[in-house]
Chain A
Amino acid sequence: MREKLVIGLAAVVAILLSYNLYNIFLVLPDEVSQGYIYRIIYFHVPAAIVGMLGYFAAMTLSVLYLASGKFRYDSLAASIVEVSVVFSTLNIVTGSIWARVIWGIWWTWDPRLTSALVCVLIFAGYLMMRRSIDEPTQRARLSAALTIFGCVDVVIVWKSIEWFRNNHPGPVLSIRTGGGHIDPAMEHMLYMNFLALLLMGTVLVLIRSRQESTAREIDSLRRNAHV
């Protein structure tokens, strides 16, 4: 049943991504001041949003773990964090390449970029820490605390373009600005690709969390057999 869901979702993602890529490259016009390079926004922004949503989801699951003690919340949180780190890395790398063209530099230490990098460092540290702790309860408790504290930085990333002076462009999505900052067709494609990346992330999380259950099964078999 679960395999069918994963395969079905993966098929939907493939179709949606193909359709989106066709539109991104062949249908949408160039941006007035940036030319071709702006099309990277259709991966850069959705990846950022999927990443941040993932961290908040992991934080919710962490709270649920601390409240209930059930390991499946911890496993799911870890899977989501791993996939979110991938998307956040994608966000930073695509942003850096875009910045090289538009700003002339690969990196700058403005609040948004700095806090985004710190976010990746926090959750990469989370993943590294999980690998080095064998005892499940300790690992889960530390992971939960780290996710909750780490999400403070996610809030800083999200709000940094409003709170601080920045090189990074300000908000453009209509849900944040009330409209007028971006062409509706471009905004529509942003949401479409956000959906595609969100579904891709879901597929990856489903696969990863299945692996976590397998790992837990191996662990408990070993424990019961004193192997």
Chain B
Amino acid sequence: MNLFAQALAVARKDLAIELRTKESLNAAGSFAIVILLIFSFAFESFSDEMNEFGGGLLWLVFAFAGALVFNRGFARELPNECLDTLLASPLSAAGLIIGKAFANFAMLLVVELVSLIVFGIFYGIDWLSKGAWLSVVFALATWGVSILGAVFGALTVNLRLRELMLPVIIYPLMIPLLIAAIELTNTVLNQHSVSGQMEWIRVLVASDIVFTTLAWMLADAILVN
């Protein structure tokens, strides 16, 4: 089985579990909606200012909700020694980590979609008119944070203070991705052309490639017991 097939198998397993239990999706989704609600008291909705703040607000919400999703990623393998079983199986470490990243990516995309709809309702923004670039930006940035979440989720799974340590570690690493995503989302919100902001697309693509390559190279060292 090649790496991609292994990763898909892991992702399929995780998503099947998630569809059955919906623990991460419910938690992250409700958390995202509550944060958006709280922000609506802080900022005036239906105003032009929303075009300046919208990207920042959204990506903050996604970062916080993402931490909840990434925490569960490897933590769900702890009961009944499932993690040990996975490590002892013919599955490669890289396949496991990238598979978890695929699952994180899918779950975070669902949370983002729900958030976009709620955000559109609370703040009067019509996302459908914003064009295909938004999907590209979301896909690139979400992959970057998902692979970080998978790698550091694996490393922090056995820690006592896992829920605290994982956000503390990955948020600074995510900052270049978040800044690029926020700038590009604001550009799209303001109806400006993304082609004038290609440097941020380059930042996203470069970060994704570098983080994925590092994850693949370090997987064995990270997951060895």
Contacts and interface: CB of A to CB of B under 8 A. Distances in A.
A and B directly contacting (CB within 8 A): yes
A152 B210 contact: yes
Contact of B218 (A125, A148, A150): A148
- If over half of A's interface residues share one DSSP class (helix, strand or loop), that class is named, otherwise mixed; here it is helix
Given A118-B176, A129-B165, A149 B221 contact: no
Interface residues of B, number: 25
B198 interface: no
Contacts of A153: 172-173, 175-176
Contacts of A145: 151-152, 155, 218, 221-222
Given A129-B165, A138-B159, A142-B156, A150 B173 contact: yes
B47 interface: no
Contact of A149 (B160, B165, B173, B179): B173
A133 B169 contact: no
Contacts of B36: none
A89 to B, nearest CB: 15
A149 B211 contact: yes
Interface in B119-171: 148, 151-152, 155-156, 158-161, 165, 168-169
Contacts of B221: 66-67, 141, 144-145
A218 B159 CA distance: 22
A145 B217 CA distance: 11
Nearest to A67: B221
Given A118-B172, A141-B221, A149-B214, A132 B148 contact: no
A129 B168 contact: yes
Nearest to B173: A149
Contacts of A148: 214, 218
A138 B168 contact: no
A141 B152 CA distance: 11
Interface in A128-172: 128-129, 132-133, 135, 138, 141-142, 144-146, 148-150, 152-153, 156, 163-164
Nearest to A155: B210
Contacts of B179: 114
A132 B161 contact: yes
Contacts of B148: 149
A146 B169 contact: yes
Contacts of B172: 118, 121-122, 125, 150, 153
B75 to A, nearest CB: 15
11 contacts: A114-B175, A122-B172, A122-B173, A125-B168, A129-B168, A144-B221, A145-B151, A148-B214, A153-B173, A153-B176, A163-B199
Given A145-B221, A153-B175, 7 more contacts: A66-B218, A67-B221, A118-B176, A129-B168, A132-B159, A146-B152, A152-B173
